Structure 1
């Protein structure tokens, strides 16, 4: 009888331990977030991708995820890492700009400009560090900035001119990240790759070179899984693989007429600031008293929709932004915006409405806290943030996401798979003895 009582108490304790989050003293699982820029949701469907296919068996796959408006690299990545809509985190474009001085800073030059990123929304790195965790950013947008004076513990920033498609370097980057986890005990690392975005822009989403880079990504994922095993991280590292936006083919002459906005309004006369040559999304500040005239003129332009910022659909989550100019333009899918007569060379682009299927992107996840062979319904990328906080066992900063959207991907009660297997074995043992 005494033996049965002791066994019952042991099993009860094991069940309680498996059902509650681990304390810092007991240890916690680590998290690697990987983003492949411009990986459209269906890019793996016309290419042989055995490693991505295996991830769907060994972990979680979402049918697709919806990026925020704006479907651009910096705004979308910052939504993922903060869990905030663009109107809240205020990274409203890839380019850093100032509407009063007409300053325009290219994307890669903004990556260390804290004044562009630090607008009150705390990214996950800083929130985790403030709760005792160790974090790193490897080329991830936003990682190179300071937030109220706080920097990410370890940062590598992608420099202008850096080549994004070197497969040997991709593997070296994985080896570096694995060493951060194993040798330096980092808890969270974010890793960014600039492909398949570059190929999608240069060649278009339907080009054979895009398919080749997807095969390279798939090989890299295979290498990642080998590296995880080699570094003995299989039971302690959760991995999320996602992206920032999709890609669509740019419609060109002679099939369509290009949208040249200067045909419909005199930009020099009516606008004091504009960025209108950046894919499917444009912004414009009218001169004083000219807002309605600008809006009416652009309303006559084909293949686009013009919005007054304060009248945009609430679903855009852009209207409350203080940084965004008063006029916002969204081109129809595949139509590039051209302010005057700038030569537009991209074969593919993004920046279009996030409801378009070509703008949707991928989500894969695997590791000790994720279910296996689990297919998730589509969801908005904003919900990745509370999921990551759950995995890291930290209190999230204020955010717009919901854990209820993603927690069904996790093993029961959020416990690790090892803990649940242990409990099952103990239960079998108890019933055998009884």
Structure 2
């Protein structure tokens, strides 16, 4: 009888604790998503990272996560924030392009171009705003665009000359985000850092410079942890730390024969448009009637080059069914960049290779009041971060390709109790007193 009465009291508290529409604050915790561009899954294994190590005990670590097949910054970040495959969200490259007009814009030039990002797949910022939440994007790709005319509540976009590695500015960015949560009551914020991608490109992943930037990232995570405590957010803010793709060392002459496509085909006579010289992924639009000629010229041209006609692209790549994907798709083996007419020696490290390669896998860490502690997750696809974020925020997801079953095991068992109502200390005290009187 005693246990039945306590259960009845608990249920009653849950029912009567539900917020009244328009009159009470929702009960879900806030969420911060941080992306460190180009953070390969094992970058912390050869560096002293006390703060990342602490997060393993204080929260969740995935062994690694798999980005979408086009392992580039814009496509991968947009998959995370929409939960959609690349063929569905349409951001198929870092560069905005038009293969008819021959337009090509660099990554940073696309960041405010809504016509590149707004293809019908709603990012979480907009879906959450439409359900009453307040959202912000700090440098996150796609955050500066409009979606069906709707903008993110607060959006900061990287300038062309923005430095990627200023540790003082990194901390200032965290301070700004903490103010957004505490002083302006934002519910969901995305924060983007351009490292360690930049260092990985410039000097390569297996270098002391890369190790130094990982140590800097670890110090920044330490600063974040302190800032959360300082701003009294430890019991109300969940944090997810992840990335968009990994990085690998580029193979160069004379160690290997590099891929230079002009050795095998005539670009002037055979191609109308190409997107090449950007890592291990490229596309070609042949001149009218020349598709077979381009395909035949490249099919067996180089032992470390794979060539597909658009209709032959494997279904599990999840990017073929989009009009922006060109007639011929090329993928280099790990470390073999696709050079079109000349070989560029700019990047020592690169990405864009198959997402099945371990060097393309990325990190996942999470901590906060709704996450288990000292929990090691099996690998999963980055597309499943989206339904996890929706669950944490109490948002009804937009149509997506992710699976909550990949990630819900990292949440506390009582996450769904009482409709995810967090019973206050005072209510618990009342229950305890009632228990003693029964």
User: Which residue number corresponds to residue 328 of structure 1?
Assistant: 329
For the Cα contact (< 8 Å) 2:6–2:431, is it kept in 1? Answer: no
User: How far, CA to CA, are the matches of 1:150 and 1:27 in structure 2?
Assistant: 26
Q: Secondary structure at the match of 1:189?
A: strand
User: Which residue number corresponds to residue 383 of structure 1?
Assistant: 384
User: How far, CA to CA, are the matches of 2:341 and 2:79 in structure 1?
Assistant: 32
User: How far, CA to CA, are the matches of 1:422 and 1:214 in structure 2?
Assistant: 43
User: How far, CA to CA, are the matches of 1:340 and 1:350 in structure 2?
Assistant: 20
User: How far, CA to CA, are the matches of 1:357 and 1:4 in structure 2?
Assistant: 52
Residue by residue over 1:111-164, the C-alpha shift from the partner in whole angstroms, topping out at 9 and shown as x without a partner, is 000010000000000000111110000000000000010000001000112101
For the Cα contact (< 8 Å) 1:40–1:361, is it kept in 2? Answer: yes
User: Which residue number corresponds to residue 83 of structure 1?
Assistant: 83
User: How far, CA to CA, are the matches of 1:328 and 1:412 in structure 2?
Assistant: 45
User: How far, CA to CA, are the matches of 2:257 and 2:243 in structure 1?
Assistant: 31
Shift of 1:421: 9.6
User: Which residue number corresponds to residue 10 of structure 1?
Assistant: 9
In terms of mean alpha carbon deviation, does 205-214 or 317-326 score higher?
Answer: 317-326
Which structure 2 residues correspond to residues 19-168 of structure 1 after superposition, within 5 A?
25-168=25-168
User: How far, CA to CA, are the matches of 1:277 and 1:90 in structure 2?
Assistant: 21
User: How far, CA to CA, are the matches of 2:426 and 2:327 in structure 1?
Assistant: 58
User: How far, CA to CA, are the matches of 1:132 and 1:338 in structure 2?
Assistant: 48
User: How far, CA to CA, are the matches of 2:34 and 2:131 in structure 1?
Assistant: 22
For the Cα contact (< 8 Å) 1:21–1:393, is it kept in 2? Answer: no
User: How far, CA to CA, are the matches of 1:109 and 1:310 in structure 2?
Assistant: 31
Which structure 2 residues correspond to residues 345-384 of structure 1 after superposition, within 5 A?
345-384=346-385
Shift of 1:423: 9.6
Change (3 A) 1:325 1:251: same
The root-mean-square deviation of aligned C-alpha atoms, in Å, is 2.3
Change (3 A) 1:287 1:411: same
User: Which residue number corresponds to residue 178 of structure 2?
Assistant: 178
User: Which residue number corresponds to residue 403 of structure 1?
Assistant: 404
TM-score, with normalisation over the residues of structure 2?
Answer: 0.93
Shift of 1:359: 0.1
Shift of 1:11: 3.3
For the Cα contact (< 8 Å) 2:111–2:157, is it kept in 1? Answer: yes
User: Which residue number corresponds to residue 242 of structure 1?
Assistant: 242
Shift of 1:384: 0.3
Q: Secondary structure at the match of 2:151?
A: coil
Residue by residue over 1:171-211, the C-alpha shift from the partner in whole angstroms, topping out at 9 and shown as x without a partner, is 00000000000000000000000000000000100010000
Q: Secondary structure at the match of 1:255?
A: coil
Residue by residue over 1:363-421, the C-alpha shift from the partner in whole angstroms, topping out at 9 and shown as x without a partner, is 00001111111100000000000100001101111111111111111111424696599
Change (3 A) 1:8 1:418: closer
Shift of 1:14: 5.0
For the Cα contact (< 8 Å) 2:27–2:421, is it kept in 1? Answer: no
> Which ranges of structure 1 fall in alignment gaps of 5 or more residues?
none
Shift of 1:433: 6.0
User: Which residue number corresponds to residue 315 of structure 1?
Assistant: 316
User: How far, CA to CA, are the matches of 2:425 and 2:355 in structure 1?
Assistant: 41
Shift of 1:343: 2.5
User: How far, CA to CA, are the matches of 1:428 and 1:404 in structure 2?
Assistant: 35
Shift of 1:354: 0.3
Q: Secondary structure at the match of 2:146?
A: coil
User: Which residue number corresponds to residue 169 of structure 2?
Assistant: 169
1:205 aligns with 2:205: yes
1:304 aligns with 2:310: no
Q: Secondary structure at the match of 1:297?
A: helix
TM-score, with normalisation over the residues of structure 1?
Answer: 0.94
User: How far, CA to CA, are the matches of 2:74 and 2:206 in structure 1?
Assistant: 24
User: How far, CA to CA, are the matches of 2:435 and 2:153 in structure 1?
Assistant: 49
User: How far, CA to CA, are the matches of 1:326 and 1:382 in structure 2?
Assistant: 26
In terms of mean alpha carbon deviation, does 57-66 or 406-415 score higher?
Answer: 406-415
User: How far, CA to CA, are the matches of 1:427 and 1:334 in structure 2?
Assistant: 62
Change (3 A) 1:426 1:387: farther
Change (3 A) 1:420 1:210: farther
> Which ranges of structure 2 fall in alignment gaps of 5 or more residues?
none
User: How far, CA to CA, are the matches of 1:4 and 1:327 in structure 2?
Assistant: 68
For the Cα contact (< 8 Å) 2:19–2:25, is it kept in 1? Answer: no
User: How far, CA to CA, are the matches of 1:354 and 1:21 in structure 2?
Assistant: 43
Change (3 A) 1:56 1:429: farther
Q: Secondary structure at the match of 2:121?
A: coil
In terms of mean alpha carbon deviation, does 279-288 or 6-15 score higher?
Answer: 6-15
Residue by residue over 1:318-350, the C-alpha shift from the partner in whole angstroms, topping out at 9 and shown as x without a partner, is 110111111110000001111011422110000
Shift of 1:429: 7.3
User: Which residue number corresponds to residue 281 of structure 2?
Assistant: 281
